[in-house]
Structure 1
Amino acid sequence: MFIAYLVYKKSWIGLIGLLLLLTNALIQFDAGIEVEPHSLIYLNTLFLTICIVFLIWRYKKETAYYKSLVTLSNDMGDVWFVNIPESQSRFPDEVLYTLLQNIHEHDQNKRREDQLTQRLEHDDLSSWVHEVKTPLTAMKIIIDGHHSNELVQRLNAPWLRMHLLIDRQLYISRLANLESDLLPDKQKVQDLIREEVRELSTWCMEKNITIEVTGNTGAIVYTDKKWCGFVMRQLLTNAIKYSPTDGKVSIHMDLQENKYVSVSIKDEGPGIQSHDLPRIFDKGFTGENGRVQHAATGIGLYLAQEISKKLHIRLEVATAVGEGTSIGMIFSSDNPFERIRRSPLYNRHE
């Protein structure tokens, strides 16, 4: 910063050098002024020493405030303005401080307006979702009450798709406050899977898809039932969507003591192209298969990934073109939920 300061003050340094040069020229060429050579050297040395000391003093004084701003800029946060020290001089530090204060106030006002707008949109959306669920529930009661009517029963599959879309939208609206909605507890993996399979059974029957569950049926994880179930539902929905008619979806549970519990969901679909694989969890990305299906929204796997991060679940994808896709949920023992479950305090309260 010192070099930059010298460059900034180059006009002042040039003026001082010019004055020194004129002084030396006057002494040398003015016949009325007689100065010994060693005295001239002494005068120049003294003059330059005073100038250097003055520049160093002014550098420290004038750049102290800017150094504090540079330090703050390396660690910016939402409350950045609170950490800015007040200016000690009227000019130019006070001008800069006033400018930053105005920027901060404008930013805060804009943020409050945006938050208010988002809150109103969120409330409107949540209200709309809840209102739509009421007639959907009534439709389901009517459908279930006419088992013998084949025409009515054909509405089961479209109703399920509508229900899944509305339900997913409800979860999206709650995603921002997910942490406050978590209630982790011991959950049997098989029960979580069975509940989601039962939810999607109508769709499976429509496509005549078999669900095969294998592995360690006694595996237990410590997680939130509602949100973990939603992740499983998104993965199962994708597996059923891309599975061919009369196909099979395989669910395998594995347990390695003190390491992890894994749940893999494998379909017999077309698989994922290698160039699409790195982006399947991106929001809005549908990929080549999604464009062929014309039913992909590019939101399901994105939600599954985002919620899995909050639940400390790792998603792993294995795929082969023409052979299907397998997505695994890895419940690692090294996460906050599992550490709480294994703690003596938790076991004491059980």
Structure 2
Amino acid sequence: MKKNSAFIGQLIRDYIWQILLYVLILGLVTVTFYLHNLPWTAYQDAILFSFPLVFGLFIIKVSVDWYKHKKLQRLAEKDWQVESLDELPRQTLLENDYARLLESLSNRVGQISYQKEQQQTELIDYYALWSHQIKTPLAALDLMIQVEESPRKKELKNEIFKIQQYLDMMLQYLRMESMENDFVFRELSLEQVVKPIIRKFAPFFIEKDLELDLQIENVHLVSDEKWLSFILEQIIFNGIKYTKTGKLTIKSETPYSFMIRDTGQGILEEDIPRVFEKGYTGLNGRTNQKATGLGLYMSKEIADKLGIQLTLTSKIGNGTSVLFSWNQAGSKE
């Protein structure tokens, strides 16, 4: 009802000059009759004949405009495609002009989108090549460290591992825009996804003497293994990085959720609402100048695409917990 009233109000404003013109003509006719002392019955007849005709034409025009208005609303609400331009009304000169303008804009947007996709593809290919090339000297450096006897041998190997992790993160960040095209959904055992990640980060657990409590034997879900692994790596590695002593717990909460909990330094209460924002590092990030503020942001973006909800809770001195939850359709008991 409110929309209809708004439409009628707008229509009256659009045709206010035509309405005023009609009133002006009636005024001129009235003055003419008065000055020439013509019989008022003829004036009344003119009004009786003209008003229904003008009012009827106005109603027809309102009906036509209402039909076009509803049609344009339907076009605006559905997913826009170039073919939708063929459905635009083109009965008047202005409508044709607007349709041609939209066609021109649509073609321009299409060209810009295509150029952007090409640039994104070239950028990903370039960084993929660069990443491959940089990994070659890193692998050589790793081999050199293995044959060297040095008290800092483990520390050096761990730093090389971190560089490789950041390289992988960079490539995944570039691929995020089109990650839906890369998804392969299938039923996964969470334990089988997590254990390779734990083995991957084993040197860091050993270096910090951290315990691991793993209780996810019966958790299954339908997801993409590669992208889910990326999220888990980010959360687990953050837990290791910010935990000096204690343990990391990965435990199922319900058939449709599990928790990753550490006993690290925790996050300030005022930082928690913003930890998933792009580039936000909080107090921990400002203390640790190496933080990028991308890990949790990427994890949240990917989790949303996978249909997984991430909920972070934390308290300074008591560690951080990240709850993974999904609906029943994405799981199998």
TM score, norm. by length of structure 1? 0.82
Residue in 2 that maps onto 1:9: 15
Give SS of 1:213's match.
strand
Q: Deviations over 1:17-66 (max 9, x none)?
A: 222222223223324x4x2x545433322222222122223344466545
Number of matched residues?
Answer: 327
Which amino acid in structure 1 is aligned with residue 247 of structure 2? V
Assess, with a 3 A threshold, how the Cα gap between structure 1 residues 314 and 211 changes in structure 2: closer, same or farther: farther
Which amino acid in structure 2 is aligned with residue 278 of structure 1? P
Contact 1:219 1:255 survives alignment (8 Å): no
Contact 2:234 2:295 survives alignment (8 Å): yes
**In the aligned structure 2, how far is the partner of 1:219 from the partner of 1:30?**
97
Residue in 1 that maps onto 2:297: 302
Moved more, 121-130 or 151-160: 151-160
Give SS of 1:92's match.
helix
Matched, 1:85 2:88: yes
Residue in 2 that maps onto 1:250: 248
Contact 2:272 2:313 survives alignment (8 Å): no
Contact 1:126 1:173 survives alignment (8 Å): no
Same amino acid, percent of matched pairs: 22
**In the aligned structure 2, how far is the partner of 1:76 from the partner of 1:223?**
27
Moved more, 285-294 or 106-115: 106-115
**In the aligned structure 1, how far is the partner of 2:73 from the partner of 2:189?**
53
Assess, with a 3 A threshold, how the Cα gap between structure 1 residues 286 and 48 changes in structure 2: closer, same or farther: same
Contact 1:81 1:101 survives alignment (8 Å): no
Moved more, 58-67 or 310-319: 58-67
Residue in 2 that maps onto 1:348: none
Residue in 2 that maps onto 1:260: 256
Equivalent in 319, 323, 330 of residue 324 of structure 1: 319
Aligned ranges 1:1-350 → 2 under 5 Å: 1-31=7-37, 33=38, 35=39, 37-61=40-64, 64-65=67-68, 67-75=70-78, 77-79=80-82, 81-82=84-85, 84-89=87-92, 91-146=93-148, 148-206=149-207, 208-244=208-244, 247-254=245-252, 256=254, 259-262=255-258, 264-335=259-330, 338=331
Contact 2:124 2:175 survives alignment (8 Å): no
State the 1:231 CA deviation.
1.4
Which amino acid in structure 1 is aligned with residue 256 of structure 2? Y
Moved more, 324-333 or 158-167: 324-333
**In the aligned structure 2, how far is the partner of 1:105 from the partner of 1:216?**
52
State the 1:105 CA deviation.
1.8
Assess, with a 3 A threshold, how the Cα gap between structure 1 residues 321 and 101 changes in structure 2: closer, same or farther: same
Residue in 2 that maps onto 1:345: none
Which amino acid in structure 2 is aligned with residue 321 of structure 1? I
Q: Deviations over 1:100-140 (max 9, x none)?
A: 22222222222222222222212211221222223323333
**In the aligned structure 2, how far is the partner of 1:187 from the partner of 1:195?**
14
State the 1:284 CA deviation.
1.0
Gaps (5+ residues) in structure 2? 1-6
**In the aligned structure 2, how far is the partner of 1:189 from the partner of 1:73?**
43
Give SS of 2:9's match.
helix
State the 1:228 CA deviation.
2.1
Give SS of 1:43's match.
helix
State the 1:209 CA deviation.
3.3
State the 1:218 CA deviation.
4.7
**In the aligned structure 2, how far is the partner of 1:187 from the partner of 1:13?**
70
Assess, with a 3 A threshold, how the Cα gap between structure 1 residues 310 and 93 changes in structure 2: closer, same or farther: closer
State the 1:299 CA deviation.
0.7
Give SS of 2:329's match.
coil
**In the aligned structure 2, how far is the partner of 1:18 from the partner of 1:261?**
74
**In the aligned structure 1, how far is the partner of 2:212 from the partner of 2:154?**
25
Contact 1:239 1:249 survives alignment (8 Å): no
CA RMSD of aligned residues (A): 2.7
Assess, with a 3 A threshold, how the Cα gap between structure 1 residues 78 and 238 changes in structure 2: closer, same or farther: farther
Moved more, 274-283 or 3-12: 3-12
**In the aligned structure 2, how far is the partner of 1:23 from the partner of 1:223?**
78
Contact 1:212 1:251 survives alignment (8 Å): yes
State the 1:159 CA deviation.
0.7
Moved more, 135-144 or 46-55: 135-144
**In the aligned structure 1, how far is the partner of 2:294 from the partner of 2:177?**
15
**In the aligned structure 1, how far is the partner of 2:251 from the partner of 2:65?**
66
Gaps (5+ residues) in structure 1? 343-350
Contact 2:251 2:260 survives alignment (8 Å): no
Q: Deviations over 1:259-283 (max 9, x none)?
A: 4241x22222221122111111111
**In the aligned structure 2, how far is the partner of 1:221 from the partner of 1:76?**
31
Q: Deviations over 1:83-102 (max 9, x none)?
A: 5425123x222122222222
Q: Deviations over 1:291-312 (max 9, x none)?
A: 1121211111112112222333
